Structure 1
Amino acid sequence: MNQKPYLSLNDVKAIAAAAEAEAQAHHWAVSIAIVDDGGHLLWLQRLDGAAAISAQIAPAKAHTAALGRRESKVYEDIINQGRVSFLSAPGLSGMLEGGVPIVVNGFCVGAVGVSGVKSTEDAQIARAGIAALV
């Protein structure tokens, strides 16, 4: 039987703490979501001052990145390049930059989604969180 790594609660807490530290270092009010490889929510944190809608968008970005096993920006780029029919892809709603998969030993074990600032900054926060696993 094949085996693969998975996110433990300690891993999730480490990712969340590092992502929060990155956001706070820049005074960015965001929501941070962490999901498992099936896109199921493991962590949701809305920092003080973050818009309420960001708590809906961050998990959607994370879900999209986990299921697609690639950054959610890939889908945003596909749509922006004219393939608007991709908006009908089943089960995906967070097709905006800011969702980053967590890859361990070649396996996608989950993803981090961030929402609340510029999309490039959302992705920066997500990557900072994931870097805590290394």
Structure 2
Amino acid sequence: MPSKPYLNFADVTKIAAAAQAEAIANNWAVTIAIVDDGGHLLSLQRLDGAAPLSSHIAPAKAKTAALGRRESKVYEDIINNGRTAFLTVPFVEGMLEGGVPVIVDGHVIGAVGVSGVKSDQDAQIAKAGIAALA
């Protein structure tokens, strides 16, 4: 039977700390969500000043990236390019940039979703968190 890596508590802690550091360094009030490969929430941090709604958006972005095995921006681009029927895809709510999959040895083992600033800045924070695993 094949095996694959997975996110453990230490990994989640590293990702969360690095993402938080990136947000704080830029003075960005955001929510950071980390999910496993099935989109199940492992960590949620709502930094001071982050809008309450961001605590719903960040996990949705992360879940979308984990289940889709690609950045959530891909889905935003599909919709913005005219394929609005994609909005009816089941189980996918966070179709905005800011959800980034965590990939180890070719396996998607989870994702990070960020919400609270511009979408490209959300993605920047998520990628900074993921880089802590390297």
TM-score normalised by L of structure 2:
1.00
| Structure 1 Cα separation of the partners of residues 86 and 94 of structure 2 | 12
Q: Which runs of 5+ in 1 are unaligned?
A: none
| 1:8-23 equivalence runs, <5 A | 8-23=8-23
- Measure how far apart 1:123 and its partner are: 0.0
| 1:31-50 equivalence runs, <5 A | 31-50=31-50
| Structure 2 Cα separation of the partners of residues 116 and 104 of structure 1 | 27
| Structure 2 Cα separation of the partners of residues 132 and 16 of structure 1 | 9
| 1:25-64 equivalence runs, <5 A | 25-64=25-64
Identity of aligned residues (%): 73
1:64-103 deviation digits (Å, cap 9, x = unpaired): 0000000000000000000000000000000000000000
Q: Which runs of 5+ in 2 are unaligned?
A: none
Q: Does 1:128 align with 2:128?
A: yes
Number of paired residues?
134
Q: Which amino acid aligns with 1:105?
A: D
Q: Which 4+ residue blocks in structure 1 deviate beyond 3 angstroms?
A: none
| 1:111-122 equivalence runs, <5 A | 111-122=111-122
TM-score normalised by L of structure 1:
1.00
Which residue does the alignment assign to 2:72? 72
